[in-house]
């Protein structure tokens, strides 16, 4: 907070965490500062007072115990289980503070908690001032009457979340499944009974670390006449009038009825309008609609890859009686529609997003909480992950419904980077209770979150829950037929009658889906729970199969929109090292089983790998272990590549009624701890091989090759706005030689912007016969799109047999020279043979390569390394380990 002294009164600037803006104003009537931040060092005690420690707010009990050396890293080895006792205790946070007389003299003094995790009763000077039961809400408690002149004691008594959830479940009039997570997750039960990150009781990629604490800011707020609680600005385009309006909403608390004026201006557009403003006493909301002149050209916000992300400054100035109010905010103009309409040649409905009237293929992945202890998720971590998404050519992430509504910095970074957000409400893989107090707290949560987030252009869709329509439709929880109607009623009541109704009331600027996956409009027709929410002809789908051969694109559903799909892999060795010791470093160690929370996951990875690769069988166990980690990453990268390329090439065609795929969001972008998971970036922010592959398969222009009925078919896929005249250059290489055996060029074809079409087709037998002594086992093909200007999009390739069957795969003996240059470092690689899956690893040195995990057909190639921390060429050269597939034999 900054206070600038002016003659006669004080000009005050406040950072409003709730509305993520700096608010400034002259408080003419009473010039005192009006906030007292209560963050900092508090005292923390367990149930019986045997543990007493200093705890930082914002924070949680686990973090406090860790900071005080009373526990070790909960992520180390088996500590997550060893520390289960923490969440079985009740904990009390206490602080004392002095209230400046000027603040206490105000008409209204409020104690504001931006986030309490989760169930607590709050006392000031021994008097209960409030109770909490929802970590996704802000709590605002009136404390004027209980504050004392001298020292004040603030106490927050937190109840064990595990015991609370169990108690609520026991008290429930009927069963609300699931009861407990699968045993392999070593988690806690009944998480659906507590409004807390659903993954905090364990998930199939994360530990059970049910936190307790004050995870966001705590402060006193005082005012005499009025305070601004919330400000949002949502641009809306009226197509029939060709006119933009900006809906500016002010929520205030007013001690008395107020009348005055509010002026809104967009200086860069030369627009300013004054509105009469009337606020009734108490909590009041006013909406002002700023109309832009029809002739005004506004610069539009675009998703990454489709244009820039310009914004405009919007100033709000109010004069209400003797009070003046000023706030500045950013406005981004864009429209978004979810198009569901009949498709020629298909029985279903389309399902795609149109931004600024342009159909956009969503390319990206799913976001989970970046740490079980949310106070450890810094802006730097969030920005690095989102930048990595953009660096891999993504334009979208789905904030999955089992975690948290993310921090403001998450959404503002998405706004700036052009990353579209599919925002779930925080309900996942469960049915939910319907007690009135539960519904009430959810309603408040929804209202607050929608108001907080709706100004962000990056959010293009709200979605009510993760997989709960599917859970009911396909009966995950063994509900007797006689009881089904009740659960269906509960489902509709929570997501449709409550959440959907509230969201539509608060925000008309983006679509709302009830669930994911869903048949969307068709689900609605069927009473909101479709017979088959996975129907590829409607809405979005989630699809997982670990037993089918992922190299066979025929196994994937030709969906309208793939919002989840994926395969597991292990993190890099350097990441696992942070959480383990030497005896853990084997694939079948107790540690390896402990970290795998998906039943049979470790076995499934090897089974999938064994379909196409030799499994490592070195007699040297550490070598074997590292090679197995590498191979799981190779397998995952290849599987997700095959599936994603299938979706991208399906955007323009309908096959047997299916197709027109317009989204590919794989599961999952990031990790919550060091463990095997579906992520493409591991817990230390290090890119797995999949993330490097994503750079290629999400490239704006890409050649996708596959085999169908014995023919090699190559599609040209383009996300551009302009048409291209492209041909494919196809080269056949023998595994035994770095010189192509032969090369072909397709005739040029017009590839429309935003389309996918076949550009090359030839029987493989004929192709190989034309190349002399080539067979499926001895040769592979590479291909790339070109136009008159040269290559368009990355080089791609297709193996014509499994590498395990390939003949003459040789040890490439790759050597590397590392040098520093202006942008970072250059690694020059020399290879003696064609080398698949060339993997460069620099251990714990953080950063990323320009390319990695690639097929090296040339004798020499240059790769850049962009460090995220200071390092040197010598350190990099020392740390660099190069692995290729041949090393596993
Ligand atoms: C206090 O609680 C802890 C943790 O539940 C327990 O281990 C300890 O024995 C208790 N101490 C007393 C004095 O009750
Ligand atoms: C925590 O508080 C609840 C409710 O008051 C009580 O039932 C429970 O025994 C307490 N737990 C401990 C470990 O003291
Ligand atoms: C609001 O604006 C009108 C017209 O400009 C003016 O007459 C009136 O005094 C203003 N009200 C306040 C409270 O400033
Ligand atoms: C390891 O596997 C390769 C490929 O299957 C095989 O050629 C080799 O003999 C095996 N080595 C050992 C030690 O089993
Ligand atoms: C790589 O080095 C090994 C061992 O020195 C050798 O046997 C092999 O022939 C080399 N590979 C090539 C392609 O030259």
Residue 821 has pLDDT above 50, yes or no: yes
CB-based contact 124:143 (threshold 8 Å): yes
List the single range of 28-37, 104-113, 378-387, 834-843 with lowest mean pLDDT. 28-37
Atom index in ligand 4 nearest the CA of residue 889 equals 3
Provide the CB-side half-sphere exposure for 237 (13 A, CA): 16
Residue 850 has pLDDT above 70, yes or no: yes
Question: Residue 90: helix, strand or coil by DSSP?
Answer: coil
Dig out the tokens for 831 from the structure: 């290879």
> DSSP letters of 244-297?
EEEEEEEEEEESS-EEEEEEEEEGGGTEEEEEEEEE-SEEEEEEEEEEPPTT--
Question: Residue 443: helix, strand or coil by DSSP?
Answer: helix
Atom index in ligand 4 nearest the CA of residue 617 equals 1
> DSSP letters of 480-514?
-GGGHHHHHHHHIIIIIIIIIHHHHHH--SS-EES
Q: Distances from the Cα of 427 to the Cαs of 215, 431, 503, in angstroms?
A: 20, 9, 15
The Cα–Cα gap between 757 and 749 comes to 9
The Cα–Cα gap between 778 and 807 comes to 5
Ligand 2 neighbourhood includes 604 CB (under 6 angstroms): no
The residue whose two tokens read 């049979």 is 600
Banded pLDDT at 834 (limits 50, 70, 90): very high
Fold of 231-331: Immunoglobulin-like (2.60.40)
pLDDT for the residue numbered 16: 41
φ, ψ of residue 730 in degrees (nearest 5): -110, 125
Average pLDDT in the 671-684 region? 98
* Closest listed ligand to the CA of 319: 3
The Cα–Cα gap between 107 and 322 comes to 16
pLDDT digits (tens, 9 = 90+) for 391-425: 999 999 999 999 999 999 999 999 999 999 999 99
Ligand 2 neighbourhood includes 89 CB (under 6 angstroms): yes
Ligand 4 neighbourhood includes 174 CB (under 6 angstroms): no
Strands of the sheet containing 562-565, edge to edge, are 512-513, 459-463, 420-424, 396-399, 362-367, 663-666, 562-565, 541-543
> DSSP letters of 50-65?
S-EEEEEESEEHHHHH
The Cα–Cα gap between 394 and 397 comes to 8
Distance of alpha carbon 149 from the chain centroid: 46
Ligand 4 neighbourhood includes 295 CB (under 6 angstroms): no
The Cα–Cα gap between 127 and 143 comes to 10
* Closest listed ligand to the CA of 810: 5
pLDDT for the residue numbered 416: 98
- Closest Cα to atom 7, ligand 1: which residue? 50
- Best of 813, 856, 882, 887 for a ligand 5 pocket test (most atoms within 8 Å of beta carbon): 813
H-helix or E-strand containing 640?
A: helix 621-649
Average pLDDT in the 564-583 region? 98
Per 3-state DSSP, the chain is made up of helix, strand and coil in percentages (nearest 5) of 25, 35, 40
Residue 28 has pLDDT above 70, yes or no: no
Question: Residues of the chain with pLDDT > 70: what percent?
Answer: 96
- Best of 133, 156, 159, 165 for a ligand 2 pocket test (most atoms within 8 Å of beta carbon): 159
The Cα–Cα gap between 734 and 807 comes to 9
- Best of 610, 614, 619, 620 for a ligand 4 pocket test (most atoms within 8 Å of beta carbon): 614
Class of domain 815-888: mainly beta
3-state secondary structure 718-742: ECCCCCEEEEEEEEEEECCCCCCCE
pLDDT digits (tens, 9 = 90+) for 689-719: 999 999 999 999 999 999 999 999 999 999 9
Question: 31-220 and 231-331: same fold?
Answer: no
- Best of 48, 87, 89, 92 for a ligand 1 pocket test (most atoms within 8 Å of beta carbon): 48
- 91 Cα–ligand 2 center, Å: 10
What is the CA angle 769-770-774, rounded to 5? 50
Catalytic residues: 467, 564
- Closest Cα to atom 1, ligand 1: which residue? 48
- Closest Cα to atom 14, ligand 4: which residue? 617
> DSSP letters of 356-422?
TTEEE-EEEEEE--S-SSGGG--HHHHHHHHHHHHHTT--EEEE-TTS-PPPHHHHHHHHHHT-EEE
Dig out the tokens for 555 from the structure: 């196994």
**Domain limits, the chain:** 31-220, 231-331, 701-805, 815-888
Atom index in ligand 1 nearest the CA of residue 88 equals 5
Banded pLDDT at 808 (limits 50, 70, 90): confident
Strand partners, 889: none
- 838 Cα–ligand 2 center, Å: 56
Q: Distances from the Cα of 677 to the Cαs of 75, 609, 632, 656, 712, in angstroms?
A: 15, 15, 11, 34, 33
Query: Can you identify the CATH homologous superfamily of domain 31-220?
Result: Galactose-binding domain-like (2.60.120.260)
Fold of 701-805: Immunoglobulin-like (2.60.40)
pLDDT for the residue numbered 295: 80
Ligand 1 neighbourhood includes 242 CB (under 6 angstroms): no
Strands of the sheet containing 282-291, edge to edge, are 226-238, 243-254, 282-291
Ligand 4 neighbourhood includes 804 CB (under 6 angstroms): no
The two beta strands, 663-666 and 362-367, are parallel
Categorise residue 776: left if φ over 0, alpha if ψ from -120 to 50, beta otherwise: alpha
The Cα–Cα gap between 256 and 880 comes to 68
Residue 8 has pLDDT above 50, yes or no: no
Radius of gyration for the alpha carbons in the chain, expressed in angstroms and rounded: 29
Ligand 5 neighbourhood includes 832 CB (under 6 angstroms): yes
pLDDT digits (tens, 9 = 90+) for 265-317: 999 999 999 999 999 999 999 999 999 998 888 999 999 999 999 999 999 99
- 889 Cα–ligand 4 center, Å: 6
Closest CA relative to residue 434, chosen from 381, 385, 482, 498: 498
Average pLDDT of the chain is 94
What pTM was computed for the model?
A: 0.95
Atom index in ligand 5 nearest the CA of residue 810 equals 13
């Amino acid at each position: 907070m900054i206070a600038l002294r002016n003659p006669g009164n004080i000009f005050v600037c406040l950072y409003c965490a709730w509305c993520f803006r700096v608010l400034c104003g002259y408080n003419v009537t009473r010039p005192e500062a009006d906030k007292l931040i209560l963050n900092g060092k508090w005292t923390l005690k367990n149930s019986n007072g045997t543990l007493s420690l200093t705890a930082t707010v914002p924070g949680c009990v686990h973090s406090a115990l860790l900071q005080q050396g009373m526990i070790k890293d909960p992520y180390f080895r088996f500590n997550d289980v060893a520390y289960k006792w923490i969440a079985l205790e009740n904990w009390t946070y206490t602080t004392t503070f002095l209230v400046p007389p000027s603040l206490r003299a105000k008409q209204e003094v409020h104690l504001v908690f931006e986030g309490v995790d989760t169930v607590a009763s709050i006392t000031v000077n021994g008097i209960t001032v409030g109770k909490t039961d929802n970590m996704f809400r802000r709590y605002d408690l009136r404390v004027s009457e209980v504050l004392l002149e001298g020292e004040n004691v603030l106490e927050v008594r937190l109840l064990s979340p595990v015991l609370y959830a169990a108690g609520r479940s026991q008290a429930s009039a009927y069963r609300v499944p699931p009861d407990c997570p699968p045993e392999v997750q070593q988690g806690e039960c009944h998480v659906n009974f507590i409004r807390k990150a659903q993954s905090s009781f364990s998930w199939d990629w994360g530990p059970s670390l049910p936190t307790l604490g004050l995870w966001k800011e705590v402060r006193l707020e005082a005012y005499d006449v009025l305070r601004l609680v919330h400000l949002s600005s949502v641009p809306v385009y009226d197509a029939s009038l060709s006119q933009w309006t900006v809906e500016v909403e002010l929520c205030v608390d007013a001690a008395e009825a107020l009348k005055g004026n509010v002026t809104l201006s967009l200086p860069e557009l030369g627009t300013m309008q004054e509105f009469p403003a009337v606020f009734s006493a108490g909590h009041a909301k006013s909406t002002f609609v700023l109309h832009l002149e029809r002739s005004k050209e506004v610069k539009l916000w675009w998703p990454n890859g489709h244009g820039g992300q310009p914004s405009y400054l919007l100033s709000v100035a109010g004069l209400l009686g003797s009070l003046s109010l000023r706030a500045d905010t950013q406005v981004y103009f864009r429209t978004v529609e979810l198009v569901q309409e009949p498709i020629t040649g298909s029985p279903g409905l389309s399902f795609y997003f149109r931004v600024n009237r342009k159909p956009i293929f969503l390319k990206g992945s799913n976001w989970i909480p970046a740490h079980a202890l949310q106070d450890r998720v810094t802006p730097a971590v969030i920005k690095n992950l989102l930048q990595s998404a953009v660096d891999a050519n993504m334009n979208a992430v789905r904030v999955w419904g089992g975690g948290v509504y993310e921090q403001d910095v998450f959404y503002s970074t998405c706004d700036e980077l052009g990353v579209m957000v599919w925002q779930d409400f925080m309900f996942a893989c469960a049915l939910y209770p319907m007690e009135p107090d539960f519904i009430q707290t959810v309603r408040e949560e929804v209202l607050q979150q929608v108001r907080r987030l709706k100004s962000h252009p990056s959010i293009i869709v709200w979605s009510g829950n993760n997989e709960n329509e599917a859970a009911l439709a396909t009966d995950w929880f063994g509900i007797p037929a006689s009881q089904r109607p009740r659960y269906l009623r509960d489902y509709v009541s929570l997501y449709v009658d409550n959440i959907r109704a509230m969201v539509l009331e608060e925000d008309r600027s983006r679509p709302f889906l009830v669930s994911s996956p869903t048949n969307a409009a068709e689900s609605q027709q069927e009473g909101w729970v479709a017979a088959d929410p996975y129907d590829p002809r409607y809405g979005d789908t989630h699809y997982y199969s670990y037993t089918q051969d992922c190299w066979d694109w025929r196994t994937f559903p030709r969906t309208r929109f793939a919002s989840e799909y994926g395969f597991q892999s292990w993190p890099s060795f350097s990441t696992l090292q942070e959480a383990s010791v030497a005896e853990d470093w084997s694939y079948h160690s107790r540690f390896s089983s402990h970290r795998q929370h998906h039943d049979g996951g470790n076995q499934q990875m090897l089974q999938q790998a064994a379909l196409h690769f030799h499994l490592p069988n070195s007699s040297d166990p550490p070598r074997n272990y590292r090679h197995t980690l590498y191979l799981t990453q190779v397998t995952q990268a290849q599987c997700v590549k095959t599936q994603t390329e299938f979706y991208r090439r399906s955007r323009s065609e309908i096959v047997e009624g299916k197709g027109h795929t317009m989204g590919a969001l794989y599961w999952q972008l990031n990790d919550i701890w060091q463990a095997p998971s579906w992520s493409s970036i591991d817990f230390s922010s290090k890119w797995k091989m999949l993330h490097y592959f994503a750079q290629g398969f999400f490239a704006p222009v890409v050649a996708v090759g596959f085999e169908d009925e014995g023919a090699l078919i190559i599609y040209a896929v383009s996300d551009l706005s302009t048409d291209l005249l492209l041909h494919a250059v196809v080269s056949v290489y023998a595994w035994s030689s770095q010189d192509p055996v032969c090369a072909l060029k397709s005739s040029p074809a017009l590839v429309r912007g935003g389309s996918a079409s076949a550009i090359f087709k030839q029987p493989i037998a004929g192709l190989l016969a034309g190349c002399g002594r080539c067979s499926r086992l001895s040769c592979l093909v590479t291909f790339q799109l070109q136009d008159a200007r040269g290559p368009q999009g990355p080089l791609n390739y297709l193996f014509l047999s499994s590498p395990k069957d390939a003949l003459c795969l040789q040890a490439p003996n790759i050597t590397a020279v590392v040098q520093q240059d202006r942008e970072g470092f250059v690694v020059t690689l020399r290879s003696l043979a064609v080398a698949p899956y060339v993997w460069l690893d620099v251990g714990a040195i953080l950063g990323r390569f320009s390319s990695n995990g690639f097929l090296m057909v040339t004798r020499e190639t240059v790769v850049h390394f962009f460090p995220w921390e200071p390092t040197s060429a010598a350190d990099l050269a020392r740390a660099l380990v190069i692995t290729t597939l041949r090393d596993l034999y």
